[in-house]
Structure 1
């Protein structure tokens, strides 16, 4: 069994080809007490992830060799790890593509180091939560509603018998919604309980993850309540 991840023992892989940004990010994350390694291109990032088994990856989209999207695909195919994607473009299409291939969060440049650290800490808390849940509640029964089955113990989702690959964040968001079917959950509550964010500055992140879930699971499971939030609508049996 892998050792438990804590805020103090975490390993962070930073993938960034701009030396000034890579150095600044690595120094700031190291100051938090984390072990940090930097990769400067896509292929080096894939190799480093396989060797380090990091707890979080901070990944630039634009990289020499293979880009950040392909890096994400390859890393997630090898191991489930939270990925915070960085991009110079504030484009929702780019965001959805990134989330669709397996990123868990998304920041546009320029960004504040304080916000970056907050996002990484939130990802690490989710890793800790998932590990604790696996230890204390390994026998949680699956949530089965119509043709959707959510296995909380094994963190697997099936629809109509087909397994759907979700990122750790997508899985937690789906479980949160499906645990209270037909109940409208506000964006602020979802941010607090899934992302561990104390403020409401990330509502766009919630919206983007909902879109990613709909692309993977179908558009009928999650209802939008405009101006409020989202509700899980169980499919017909």
Structure 2
């Protein structure tokens, strides 16, 4: 396949399937400045709407453009959908990468997930399974179903989580605490503001937990301590 070159950056359009990694950009810039091997590693483009769309090598294109260097590229015969399909099967993609990718594709469920990431500044990772039931295979294929009702429910969990980590006298395990809060918010009669006020007053009674049930037991004691009203059972009934 013929390798072409140009310094006419306006000819290109970037198909950003994953957010550009700033740390990678810095490392790449340093490497290119020290030794430019661009001719040996051309970017892949396809012709779309009269422009050259960069489908592989977005980081290299960005760095070379910033440095004012010639862009080495080759035109691939693969379709954009074939390239996207191959990329979404890449093993090193994170859940957050899939969220960004399918949101960009206009999939409503992933648009809502990206909105959650933006609002709470939290990338979906290993703790995602504690927020909602998830099939990794379906999630990676863009088939995950998430609606406005789910959005509201998860938002309440994350807001409570962020409020509590500001109060806790130690750094709690994110996954364990979120799992506990997911259950707490389903308990009939649970008063969120009352709960937070009791945690603030009795935070010395908290201790690190490795299981969500351990947090639930602590929360129940703190919530019901000197509570003249109806006692709440915050622990799961086994």
Give 1 or 2 for the bigger CA radius of gyration. Answer: 2
Q: TM above 0.5, one fold? A: no
Relative to the length of structure 2, the TM-score reads 0.25
* Greater share of residues in helix: 2
* Greater share of residues in strand: 1
